[in-house]
Structure 1
Amino acid sequence: MNENEISRGAELQQIVQRFAEAQKAMQGEAQIHHLFDAPRQEEVVRLADKVAVYQKHNGWMTEREARDEIAQWQAHAAQQGEGASNADKIVLSLFDYTGAWSQPWVDAGYQVYRFDIQSDPEMGDVNAFSVEFFSDWFSDFDGLDIYAVLAACPCTEFAGSGARHFAAKDADGRTVAAVELVHQTLRVIEYFRPALWAVENPVGRIEKLGGLPPWRLSFDPFHLGDAYTKKTLIWGRFNADLPIAPVWPSEGSKMHTRYGGKSQATKNARSATPEGFAYGFFMANNAEDHPALAVAAKYDRLCSRLIAEAVAAGLRPSEIDELVEDYYYFELDDAAAENTLRLELAARGRPLHSFQEPSGQVAMWL
């Protein structure tokens, strides 16, 4: 190993270590958000387990049945798009050359902004993102909330299937560049603090090098109607309990048999988001069907179950804002914010319940 290779290896380790230290510092007692918290055990979903239960009792769906199921998901998204309920919600989709992952959100009427350097070398370069970039080019989206950030980060330097090439990529700087893209993605998420965020990659080393929290969802495309295997992990803050449309993986690992090679076209084919997953993810996470998700994420230091109860009691997001916003953002008094919600729920006749917090402490809520 020559001096340049040793230097690049040291640079990679320093980048990873510095980012890890910065994240650790943000998670002290003064933590102001929970964007990057590790998922609780009950929040981690392996779709293979869900599919195994379904297959045991029902067998596999035929490909026609799976297509019909996905068509219903597509129709559901399109039905939302016919109204204007999502027109004030922004979705940022990074590394989105095909547009497949973000298409359901387009169908449903969200304002979707796609970024990919292949499509637009200037506007699509994630490395160029900054406060000034979003202010100058997008006017910070006119102050609208960013509902979701989706990121299918390039996987060539991370996927376990290419592990035999890791040493060479670490030595020549390709891994450093890929890690910087992941870190830049997390900076975008930190800046906008969306209700949900998700980073997609095959099984590999992105979590360790990129500074991601533990993964929340694992799936193969055949779990959601696309008849091939490709073990994929999703990191982030989102509802991982996706609907399924399980079919026999008759095409096997077609990514390797059909789309081998080093050209950009074959890389794009290998990384294309399966349609079934894209619509299944939408079904589990869209704002209209999951109204408490966005509110709980906006006030993520407060008890999510208390917020869910408030939404179930009929409080609109704007009413919750009016009750807790000042306490939460200006006074940083979470107890007062929660108490205000409890008083409002009591006024609406909601009964008092107790629940077990993840920390083991018993808290009271209405």
Structure 2
Amino acid sequence: MASNAPEHAAVGVDDRELEEIVAAFVEAQSHMNSAEERTHHLFDSPRASEVVRLKDKASAYHKIHGWMTPAEARARIDLWKDQAETQGAQRKNSDKVVLSFFDKTGAWSRPWEEAGYQVYRFDIQDNPETGDVNLFGAEFFGDWFGDFDGLDIYAILAACPCTDFAVSGARHFAAKDADGRTVASVQLVHQTLRAIEYFKPSIWAIENPVGRIEKLGGLPQWRLAFDPYHVGDTYTKKTLLWGRFNADLPVAPVEPTEGSKMHSKYGGSSLATKNARSVTPEGFAYAFFMANNAIDHPKMAVSAKYDRLCSRLLGEAVEFGLSPYEIGGLVDDFYYMDLNDEGAEDTLRMELTARGAKLASYSEASGQFAMWL
């Protein structure tokens, strides 16, 4: 029997059509990422050094310190929460937007909201018109949200429905492939990737349990693997994240005394139990924020925004004190209008050299020689 979940509104395609849809999307994505057509590096697979298994960090901590008590983990998460709230009080993030898809609870995006980012949540269960990812497109975002007034879309977070992907439901795959449920879920992933390509955020992440979403969704290799007990919750649920983000999250490892509680406590196929199983762990949400927010990681933020330019050069500009606004003023026309990366980098080098020369002259006069290299 087909599911009545809202993400499965479209049914009626068979297994052959599913394969054709997946193949066509992967082919189009490959063409878009070819050297001749590439205008960004959004979907590059992570380097080996960028792939993180949070279990390794949690195990290293446990080996030295033992498990945190739940109270100790709670205190650490509260520190992360305090840092988000401090950023919100400083009002330095109000010009940045975070889009959160399939976000009924708001748990994953809550730290960003507390930090002062403009957070827009989309979930069809809350609003069938503005929450339906299948409706997304340039006209949709322009008509409903005025393209967010031209503000920087800093991050896109997506907890895509996992019912038709997770290996825990593998015994139902054949039926779902045949009646169209799988392809409906695949189309949601593809729509999410189209939105990411449209906005080109510095940070993007798709979350799902271990399963077949990577193959069917046309995703790059996963970047992060974690269980909730690595970040303060006392249960296991191996989860993967794909995207462009810093996977080196801080940890708050506790003993997984509840084991895999998802189906023992939230079993069943009702929409309510599916929602309960899909709630983002609070510790993970704040750990992800800590590793990826723009204030704490300015080099990462600017290098991702201008991902065709030399990341070392951009990092030097940040170290030298240029603000993202100043960097944008120097390179935006070259980068976006002319697609002239060499011109953008030359202009940035000239600015740094000029500023460095002034600094050297001032330092010599004060008896403290320093030269910009």
Q: TM-score, normalised by structure 1?
A: 0.92
Structure-1 residue corresponding to 2:43: 36
1:235 matches 2:235: no
Structure-2 residue corresponding to 1:262: 269
Structure-1 residue corresponding to 2:123: 116
1:219 matches 2:239: no
Instruction: Return the alpha-carbon distance in structure 1 between the equivalents of residues 284 and 292 of structure 2.
Output: 12
1:22 matches 2:60: no
Structure-1 residue corresponding to 2:280: 273
Structure-2 residue corresponding to 1:360: none
Greater Cα shift, 294-303 or 162-171: 294-303
Instruction: Return the alpha-carbon distance in structure 2 between the equivalents of residues 230 and 155 of structure 1.
Output: 13
1:76 matches 2:83: yes
Instruction: Return the alpha-carbon distance in structure 2 between the equivalents of residues 117 and 159 of structure 1.
Output: 21
1:131 matches 2:129: no
**Aligned residue type for 1:123:** T
Greater Cα shift, 64-73 or 47-56: 47-56
Alignment of 1:81-92 (within 5 A): 81-92=88-99
- Say if 2:202 and 2:304, in contact at 8 Å, map to a contact too: yes
Shift of 1:344: 2.7
Alignment of 1:40-51 (within 5 A): 40-51=47-58
Aligned length: 348
Match of 1:172 among 165, 173, 179: 179
Structure 1 unaligned residues grouped into runs of 5+: 351-364
Shift of 1:6: 11
**Aligned residue type for 1:88:** D
Instruction: Return the alpha-carbon distance in structure 1 between the equivalents of residues 331 and 102 of structure 2.
Output: 36
Match of 1:209 among 203, 206, 216: 216
Q: TM-score, normalised by structure 2?
A: 0.91
CA deviation vs aligned residue, 1:288-321 (integer Å, no higher than 9, x gap): 1111222112210011122111101101112111
Instruction: Return the alpha-carbon distance in structure 2 between the equivalents of residues 160 and 348 of structure 1.
Output: 56
Structure-2 residue corresponding to 1:182: 189
- Equivalent residue of 2:90, what SS? coil
**Aligned residue type for 1:12:** L
1:57 matches 2:68: no
Structure-2 residue corresponding to 1:312: 319
Structure-2 residue corresponding to 1:293: 300
1:331 matches 2:323: no
Q: Percent identity?
A: 69
- Equivalent residue of 2:121, what SS? strand
- Equivalent residue of 2:76, what SS? helix
1:13 matches 2:51: no
Cα RMSD for the two superposed structures: 1.6
CA deviation vs aligned residue, 1:308-354 (integer Å, no higher than 9, x gap): 1110110111211122222222332212322322333333449xxxx
**Aligned residue type for 2:130:** M
- Say if 2:223 and 2:242, in contact at 8 Å, map to a contact too: yes
- Equivalent residue of 1:82, what SS? helix
Instruction: Return the alpha-carbon distance in structure 1 between the equivalents of residues 211 and 312 of structure 2.
Output: 34
- Equivalent residue of 1:235, what SS? strand
Instruction: Return the alpha-carbon distance in structure 1 between the equivalents of residues 310 and 238 of structure 2.
Output: 33
- Say if 2:104 and 2:122, in contact at 8 Å, map to a contact too: yes
Structure-2 residue corresponding to 1:160: 167
Shift of 1:7: 6.3
Match of 1:104 among 88, 106, 111: 111
1:142 matches 2:146: no
Instruction: Return the alpha-carbon distance in structure 2 between the equivalents of residues 162 and 309 of structure 1.
Output: 48
Distance verdict in 2 for CA 1:70–1:6, change over 3 Å: closer
Instruction: Return the alpha-carbon distance in structure 2 between the equivalents of residues 349 and 51 of structure 1.
Output: 43
CA deviation vs aligned residue, 1:7-31 (integer Å, no higher than 9, x gap): 6111000000000000110111231
- Equivalent residue of 2:241, what SS? strand
- Say if 2:13 and 2:183, in contact at 8 Å, map to a contact too: no
Shift of 1:196: 0.5
CA deviation vs aligned residue, 1:246-279 (integer Å, no higher than 9, x gap): 0000111011211110111110011100000000
- Say if 2:12 and 2:180, in contact at 8 Å, map to a contact too: no
Instruction: Return the alpha-carbon distance in structure 2 between the equivalents of residues 7 and 218 of structure 1.
Output: 32
